[in-house]
């Protein structure tokens, strides 16, 4: 077989080249991933913290949340937010499609982040919590000033791989026709029959995106190092 990279300069029928379409698809992938990451970090942190509090009801909520969103496939969750929830609550039908994907991907990942946040907090010596409380800090203050600053530093590596997973998982958005990279790959493959070139380019873009996240996380990890602590410098 022979290469035909000029396929990217062809018109896709709407006045733009496939290259431009692919770049805009890349933008969608990054946008969906970034928004989902924000949702996942916020919700995952709250649920993870809940699971380490002494309040039984909060522990139960955190556990239930984690089990619920961890045990349903992402694709099915996307369909839930796209088809099922809007049909139950009429007001949600005007919301753009991308929100269904962001919520689904965000909540799905929040279950995994809640596991890591919990593990990070539990990795700290128990005395830290007691010391905070003994000093007269309230429970929220103990979390804010004693536990969380260390816990988050410990879990930067697993959070990095979750962020890279989000970029990979955003590919599932093709199923509800979000014009992201995978959706572009399928459409362009069908229209041009130059599947190998199209898939290679798309795969390459996924590579770069994941690699970029990896580098950014490495910088954050370095910047936030505490000398002498677990994973910190000397």
Partner 1 sequence: MNLSFAFIDWGLIQSFILKGFIFSVQLTLVAMVGGIALGTVIALMRLSGKKWLVLPAAFYVNTLRSIPLVMVILWFFLLIPLLIGRPLGAELSAMVTFTVFEAAYYSEIMRAGIQSVPKGQVSAGYAVGMTYQQCMRFIVLPQAFRNMLPVLLTQTIILFQDTSLVYAVGAYDLLKGFEVAGKNFNRPVEMYLLAAITYFVICFSLSMLVRRLQKKIAIIR
Judged by the rule CB under 8 A, the positions of this chain that interact with partner 1 are 1, 67-68, 70-77, 79-80, 83-84, 87-90, 164, 167-172, 174-175, 182, 185-186, 189, 195-196, 199, 202-203, 206-207, 210
Under 8 Å CB-to-CB from 84, ≥6 apart: which residues? Answer: none
What's the farthest any 2 CA atoms get from each other in the chain? Answer: 73
Pick 61 or 72: Cβ nearer partner 1: 72
Smaller CB distance to partner 1: residue 89 or 234? Answer: 89
When the beta carbons of 8 and 69 are compared against partner 1, the nearer one is 69
Residue 163 sits at φ, ψ, to 5 deg, of -65, -40
CA distance 73 to 172: 11
Q: What is the DSSP string of 115-145?
A: HHHHHHHHTS-HHHHHHHHHTT--HHHIIII
Closest approach, Cβ 24 to partner 1, in A, equals 18
**Nearest approach, Cβ of residue 162 and partner 1 (Å):** 14
Give the shortest CB-73-to-partner 1 separation in angstroms. 4
| Cα 78 to Cα 50: distance, rounded to the nearest angstrom | 25
Q: Which is nearer to partner 1, 34 or 148 (CB)?
A: 34
* Nearest distance, CB of residue 208 and partner 1, angstroms: 10
Radius of gyration of the chain (CA): 21
């Amino acid at each position: 077989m022979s290469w035909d990279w000029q396929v990217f300069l062809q018109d896709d029928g709407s006045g733009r080249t496939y290259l431009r379409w692919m770049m805009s698809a890349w933008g969608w992938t990054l946008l969906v991933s970034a928004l989902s990451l924000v949702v996942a970090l916020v919700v995952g942190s709250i649920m993870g913290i809940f699971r380490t509090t002494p309040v039984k009801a909060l522990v139960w909520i955190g556990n239930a949340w984690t089990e619920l969103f961890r045990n349903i496939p992402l694709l099915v969750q996307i369909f839930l937010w796209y088809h099922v929830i809007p049909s139950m609550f009429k007001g949600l039908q005007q919301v753009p499609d991308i929100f269904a994907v962001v919520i689904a991907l965000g909540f799905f990942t929040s279950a995994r982040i809640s596991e890591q946040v919990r593990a990070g907090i539990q990795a700290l010596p128990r005395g830290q919590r007691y010391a905070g409380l003994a000093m007269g800090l309230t429970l929220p203050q103990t979390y804010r000033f004693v536990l969380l600053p260390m816990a988050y530093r410990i879990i930067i590596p697993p959070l990095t791989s979750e962020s890279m997973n989000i970029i990979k998982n955003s590919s599932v958005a093709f199923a509800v026709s979000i014009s992201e990279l995978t959706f572009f790959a399928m459409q362009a493959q069908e229209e041009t029959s130059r599947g190998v070139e199209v898939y290679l380019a798309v795969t390459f873009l996924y590579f770069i995106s994941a690699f970029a996240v990896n580098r950014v996380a490495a910088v954050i990890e370095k910047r936030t190092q505490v000398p002498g602590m677990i994973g910190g410098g000397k």
